[in-house]
Amino acid sequence: MARARFEVSAFSSLDVRFKNLGVAVCCVVLAAGCSGAARSGRAGATMHGERGGRSLDALQLEGALSGADQPSSGGSLRERSDDYRLPENPTLDDYLMVAAHRNEGLKAAFHHWRAAAEQAHAAGRLPDPRFSYTYYIERVETRVGPQRQSFSLSQMFPWFGKLALQRTERDNVERIAHARLEEERLSLFYQVKSAYWDFWLLARSIETTRDHLELAKGLESVVRTAYEAGDAGFSDLVRLRVEIGSLENRLQGLLDRRRPVAARLNAAMSRPHDAPLPEPSLPPGEPVEISEEDIFMFMEEMNPQLIAQRYEIARQLTSVELAQKDFYPDLTAGITYIDTGDAVMPGVRDSGKDPVMAMVSINLPLDRSRRRAAAAAARERHRAAATTLEESRNELQARLEAALYDKRDASREAGLFKDTLIPEAVQALEVTEAAFRAGLTGFADLIDAQRMQLEFELSYNSAVAQREKSLALLEMLTASELRRPQRAGLPEDGQGLSGPVNVPSDIGEE
């Protein structure tokens, strides 16, 4: 008998007698939604659930980035991002905050995480029930009457454990995306910190060189007066002018270097290359005392790259279990209601009675070779993920060792200049000054002593900047804060140690 079968998603009122159909529909639909009810209670936990190790600052970023991305009448996203400006006397944390609000790569990683979290929320649910409507073009004549149309509702139930494994797999994907977001944040912050300390070093170098240049210029008139009085040779005056020219050239080179250094810091914060930047005036924060063993432990437990790869291993292990489950059939249960008209012959018992039928079916996983290949591929991906984790751990440990060495070396060098070399250079300059005034040494020795102090101060500032950049790398590798915040009102590191010695104006007049 010819029949036309139509798959539909919804239909308006039909002139049919539903009788027991409503009860059957409710039963199947409720069964289909049971897993969703359990899953819906975990919606918040999926996005804000437990985290191993140090939790983001991604949860802090969520409020900032998601809030910044909501459409409003206050202007575009880029315009609202421009509202995050540096204060007049910014700390390093201010630079990091501006970068976090403006960086497009961090925003992209944040939205990838949000997308993965939404997918995790939707995972592990039963597939949609299937509703079928059949209209009999030629009616099926039965004893109780002609069958005119039928309604079917079915629900597929995956094999036991499949839904839970699917939920676990998507949860791991969400955790991987979260770790990638944290990795992106740490990488961005390291770029900002590295550029900031280069900018800080340049500002200190300009300030130190300018101070020594002013001192040398102050000595020029003194030496000229001494030369006219016959107390200094012409060679002393020429040597001082050469020294002034050398300092001017060095200062001009530092000033010219400010633009590319500032452009790099602006680029790290996603700002225009020529955006104005205030001079960094705050000292570095005091490093936190922590053992190297603890630093290695922090990296192992909290490095987001390692965390992501551990979740990738768990995800691939879940994929192996899912591939094994694919060897078992899925169950489909359904119910069919047939609309039947009245019998042609009068007085027929059960005339017009509508039949209701229950149906159960399973798929037959006959293609075993395909499933074995899928399971083998899943196992290989699991092995690859484990190998990648070990390789990444070795590389990160090597980088951590190098960063620890750089920190130790820079800290030792900074301590040497601060506690020994610069104080001795100041003392040597004072002794040379006294000897020059007494006529016991030449002006060249005074210039050499002044130059030695300048080089020591510049080297000290360079060592401090290198120490801070090494700390920044350690913070990125360990996902930890290893430095206390900057505070105003303290003597700046590298300032107040000595300063250029002011040679009295009566040199050569005795």
Segment 1-34, tens digit of pLDDT: 333 333 333 333 333 333 343 433 334 333 444 4
Whether 502 is covered by a domain: the verdict is no
Backbone dihedral angles phi then psi of residue 401, each to the nearest 5 degrees: -60, -45
Mean pLDDT computed over 64-83: 46
Our count of domains for the chain comes to: 1
CA 14 to centroid of chain Cα atoms: 56
Contact 334, 357 (CB under 8 A): no
Q: Dihedral angle at the C-alpha atoms of 39, 43, 48, 53, nearest 10 degrees?
A: 20
Query: Of 178-192, 217-231, 427-441, which one has max mean pLDDT?
Result: 178-192
**pLDDT of amino acid 499:** 42
Whether 44 is covered by a domain: the verdict is no
**pLDDT of amino acid 218:** 78
**pLDDT of amino acid 394:** 97
Contact 27, 154 (CB under 8 A): no
Whether 91 is covered by a domain: the verdict is yes
Whether 434 is covered by a domain: the verdict is yes
**pLDDT of amino acid 441:** 76
**pLDDT of amino acid 507:** 36
Mean pLDDT computed over 226-243: 74
Tell me the torsion sign for CA atoms 300, 301, 305, 311: positive
Lowest mean pLDDT among 79-83, 146-150, 188-192, 376-380: 79-83
Question: Which residue's entry shows tokens 């993920």?
Answer: 385
Whether 144 is covered by a domain: the verdict is no
**pLDDT of amino acid 241:** 85
Domain extent at residue 267: 54-125+158-328+365-478
Q: Is the pLDDT of residue 408 over 50?
A: yes
6 - beta bridge partners? 133
Q: Taking the model in full, what pTM does it have?
A: 0.77
Whether 333 is covered by a domain: the verdict is no
> Band of the pLDDT at 142, cuts 50, 70, 90?
confident
Please name the helix (run of DSSP H) or strand (run of DSSP E) that holds residue 149, with its range, or none: strand 145-157
**pLDDT of amino acid 24:** 39
User: Domain with 468 in it: what CATH number?
Assistant: 1.20.1600.10
CA 192 to centroid of chain Cα atoms: 13
Whether 425 is covered by a domain: the verdict is yes
Lowest mean pLDDT among 51-55, 63-67, 323-327, 353-357: 51-55
> Band of the pLDDT at 510, cuts 50, 70, 90?
very low
pLDDT in tens, 150-194: 999 999 999 999 999 999 999 999 999 999 999 999 999 999 999
- Name the burial class of residue 389, with classes exposed (0-12), middle (13-18) and buried (19+) by CB atoms within 10 angstroms of its CB: middle
